[in-house]
Amino acid sequence: MKNSTANGFVSIDPDQSALKEVHNLLLSGVSPRPIALVSTISEDGIDNLAPFSFFNAFGANPPYIAFSPAYSGKDGSAKDTLLNLEKVPQCVVHAVPFELLDQVLLSSTAYGPEQSEFVKAGLETLESEVVRPKRVKYSPFHMECQVEQIIPLGDTNGSGNLVLCRVVRFHVAENVMQDGKMSPEALDLIGRNGFNYYTRASGSALFKVDKPAGQGMGIDQLPDHIRNSDILSGNDLGKLGLLENMPDQGAIGEYINKLKTGKPKTKYQKLFLHGLESLDSNPIQARKDMEIAAKVALNEGDHQFAMHVLLHLSPI
C-alpha cells in the first residue's frame, strides 16, 4: 500500500493499494453498518439468503433502500443473490437482531445455488404478500422489495453492484412495538464494523439526544475564555453553541443570585457555589471548580446552568 503521512494522518491512494487494504479501510471507517439479510429466489424457485452490510436507506417518499453484492475478491465470481436478482428482480430485506447473528453467519458461507440457506441455517419462513422471495420469520423487521436498477460499480474482483430497491411492503413484529414506535432495545439490532468486529445496538450502546431546535448560535459566538477553556471539550462547546442565544448581563446576574440564595439541588450547583465562595482566596482552583460544575451540568442536560455560570466568569 502506498502511503504518505502529513498532519498526523496516513493518506492512502486507493489506485495504488491492494484490494484487501481498500476493503478493510471501508469496513473499518464506514461503520458500524446496518446488516441487510437478503432473501431472493432463483428462476427455478430455489430460495437464497445472504447478509450484506454495504447497505442503507435512501429515501422515504417513495421508500428506497440499496445494498451491494460484490464480485468475489478472489475469483471475480458473482454471488447467487446477484444472479437471482438479474432473473427475478425481487427480494426481501430483513433487519438482523443479535439473537440471529450465528444463523446469519451460517447463511453467509458459500453454499451452491442449488442449496437453500434457509434450510442450512435452520430459519423458519413466512410467505411474502407482494413478492416471490420468502421472509425470515425470526427477524423483527422485513421489507418486501421490487428491484428497480442494478448499477455495476466496476467489472472485476471486488467491484460492487448497487441494487436499488423500492420497498413495496413493510412488516414489523408486534413484540418490538412500544407506544406505536419500534423500540431499539426490543429490536436489539447488530451492526458490522471492520475485520471481525460487530456492534450491538442496545443497552449502554444506546443514547438519546434531542434534535436541535432552531439554529444554534455557533461556537464562534462564545467568548474566548469559554472557547479556550482547558476543561471544556469540543462536545461541551457544541452543546453551548447549539443554544439559540446568549443571556445578557442582567439575566446572568439574576440567575447567579437565585443560585446563591436558593438551596443547591445538584452536585454541580454545590460545586459552583463552593467555587464562588473561594474565588477571592483561591481564584485558580475556584475557576476550575466552576468550569467543572458547568461541564457536569452540560453532561446532565442543564445547558442553561452551564451557559450562565461560564458567562459569569470574567475573562482571565
Ligand X SMILES: Cc1cc2nc3c(=O)[nH]c(=O)nc-3n(C[C@H](O)[C@H](O)[C@H](O)COP(=O)(O)O)c2cc1C
- For the chain, give the number of residues: 316
Interface with ligand X in residues 155-194 (CB under 6 A)? 192
127 phi/psi in degrees, rounded to 5: -70, 150
- Residue 103 binds to ligand X (criterion: CB under 6 A): no
Please state, in angstroms and rounded to a whole number, the distance separating the CA atoms of residues 40 and 163.
12
Shortest distance, position 92 Cβ to ligand X, whole Å: 14
Q: Applying CB under 6 A, which of residues 80, 144, 188, 236 lies at the interface with ligand X?
A: 80
Q: Which is nearer to ligand X, 69 or 97 (CB)?
A: 69
- Residue 140 binds to ligand X (criterion: CB under 6 A): no
Shortest distance, position 164 Cβ to ligand X, whole Å: 15
Q: From residue 42 to residue 71, what is the string marking binding to ligand X with x (rule CB under 6 A)?
A: ------x-xxxxx-------------xxx-
Q: For residue 156, which of 86, 77, 53, 67 has the smallest C-alpha distance?
A: 77
Shortest distance, position 160 Cβ to ligand X, whole Å: 7
Q: What stretches of the chain adopt beta strand conformation (E)?
A: 3-6, 9-12, 33-34, 36-41, 47-52, 55-60, 63-67, 90-94, 125-126, 135-136, 141-152, 161-172, 177-178, 181-182, 189-192, 198-201
- Residue 92 binds to ligand X (criterion: CB under 6 A): no
Number of residues that bind ligand X (CB under 6 A): 17
- Residue 35 binds to ligand X (criterion: CB under 6 A): yes
Stretch that binds ligand X, among 102-110, 229-237, 271-279, 308-316 (CB under 6 A): 102-110
Q: Taking the mean position of all CA atoms in its chain, how far away is CA 297?
A: 26
* Beta carbons within 10 angstroms of residue 65's beta carbon: 20
**Quick one: three-class SS letters along 60-76?**
ECCEEEEECCCCCCCCC
- Residue 146 binds to ligand X (criterion: CB under 6 A): no
- Residue 134 binds to ligand X (criterion: CB under 6 A): no
In which region does residue 274 sit, left (phi positive, over 0), alpha (psi from -120 to 50) or beta (all else)?
alpha
Please state, in angstroms and rounded to a whole number, the distance separating the CA atoms of residues 109 and 165.
24
- Residue 110 binds to ligand X (criterion: CB under 6 A): yes
Q: Applying CB under 6 A, which of residues 39, 79, 145, 306 lies at the interface with ligand X?
A: 79
Name the site residues for ligand X (rule: CB under 6 A). 35, 48, 50-54, 68-70, 79-81, 105, 108, 110, 192
